[in-house]
Amino acid sequence: MSDDAEIIAGRNSVLEALKAGRSLNKILIAKGERQGSIRDIIGQAREQGLVIQEVDAAKLDQMAAGVRHQGVIAMAAPVAYVEIEDILSAAYNKGEPPFLVLLDELADPHNVGAILRTADATGVHGVLIPKRRSCPLTQTVAKTSAGAIEHVPVARIGNISQTLKSLKKQGLWVVGADMDGDKNYYEADLSGPIVVVVGSEGQGMGRLTKEACDFVVRIPMKGKITSLNASVACSLLLYEALKQRGMKG
């Protein structure tokens, strides 16, 4: 069994976890399994917008480590996900302009954990993670976050550009970090309601994500290497925002 996510194996156990509203990263179903309660599980998982993946039964055997899985396994998150509305409400209740981070297809759990740690230190109200092609909350993320995972709310989102459009309508500014940004990150106004978008480790921000940004900033670099680790780049932006918000507060 992987130590990276809590495994819930077996039809009844998975169904109960779905009914109880447990925060699940995804549901794995053995190829060809569509009988009986598996159909209920698929239906409920779809209603909740969960990722459903078909895999070989042998993979489920390996993951279940001797537990009878009956063709289905759910991978649970170590903490509960929240809704974006909860994050925004918490910011407004504190009388603070919302300060969010969106991770655009970040795949490395160590980077996600490190970003959660910095987010906690800089007063970020919440982190947004896409449901697909992104690292969910796992035990590795939790360990790397050094406890921050318990304090920084995380919401899972569907379409990134639609989410950003919705946040813009609610008055938030979207700032992306990219090598070909318009200005240096410390020249941008990061003091108001913002969403800081961090691109993936290899590709950076996707084209549609970049187009959804109100402005794109760069981190000046003098060395031979042309990019920073995603969590380091994010930290620079978050600390600059903290500095500016402190100065205006």
Distance of CA 68 to CAs 10, 12, 32, 36, 142, Å? Answer: 6, 11, 17, 16, 27
**Looking at this protein, which amino acid is placed at residue 30?**
A
pLDDT of residue 1: 35
- Contact by Cβ (8 Å): 15, 44: yes
Q: Which two tokens stand for residue 46?
A: 């779809």
Task: Please name the CATH architecture into which domain 84-248 falls.
Answer: 3-Layer(aba) Sandwich (3.40)
The predicted model scores a pTM of 0.87
Banded model confidence at residue 32, pLDDT cuts 50, 70, 90: confident
- 73 pairs with which residues across the strands? 9, 28
Please provide residue 127's backbone torsions phi and psi, each rounded to the nearest 5 degrees. -120, 135
pLDDT of residue 26: 92
CATH T-level assignment (fold) for domain 6-76: 60s Ribosomal Protein L30; Chain: A; (3.30.1330)
Give me the percent of the chain exceeding a pLDDT of 70. Answer: 95
Where do the structural domains in the chain lie, given as residue ranges? 6-76, 84-248
Banded model confidence at residue 65, pLDDT cuts 50, 70, 90: confident
Within 13 Å, how many C-alpha atoms sit on residue 158's CB side? 7
Establish whether domains 6-76 and 84-248 are of one fold: no
Spatial distance between the Cα atoms of 30 and 63, rounded to a whole number of angstroms: 12
Spatial distance between the Cα atoms of 134 and 111, rounded to a whole number of angstroms: 11
Banded model confidence at residue 204, pLDDT cuts 50, 70, 90: confident
Spatial distance between the Cα atoms of 98 and 92, rounded to a whole number of angstroms: 7
Please provide residue 84's backbone torsions phi and psi, each rounded to the nearest 5 degrees. -55, -40
pLDDT of residue 249: 46
pLDDT of residue 2: 42
- 6 pairs with which residues across the strands? 76
Position with higher pLDDT, 101 vs 63: 101
Residues 6+ apart with CB under 8 A from 243: none
Spatial distance between the Cα atoms of 50 and 191, rounded to a whole number of angstroms: 35
66: how many CB neighbours lie within 10 A of its CB?
8
Position with higher pLDDT, 243 vs 247: 243
Spatial distance between the Cα atoms of 81 and 128, rounded to a whole number of angstroms: 10
In the predicted model, what is the mean pLDDT of the chain? 90
Q: Which two tokens stand for residue 119?
A: 């987010």
Average pLDDT (92-118) is 94
141-197 tens-digit pLDDT: 999 999 999 999 999 999 999 999 999 999 999 999 888 888 999 999 999 999 999
Torsion of CA 187, 192, 195, 197, to 10 degrees: 10
Q: Which two tokens stand for residue 185?
A: 């990150």
- What letter does residue 82 receive in the DSSP assignment? B
Banded model confidence at residue 206, pLDDT cuts 50, 70, 90: confident
pLDDT of residue 4: 57
Q: Taking CA 93 as the corner, what is the angle to CA 92 and CA 96, rounded to the nearest 5 degrees?
A: 45
> Which residue has tokens 């590795």?
140
- Asked if pLDDT for residue 242 goes beyond 90, the answer is yes
Banded model confidence at residue 223, pLDDT cuts 50, 70, 90: confident
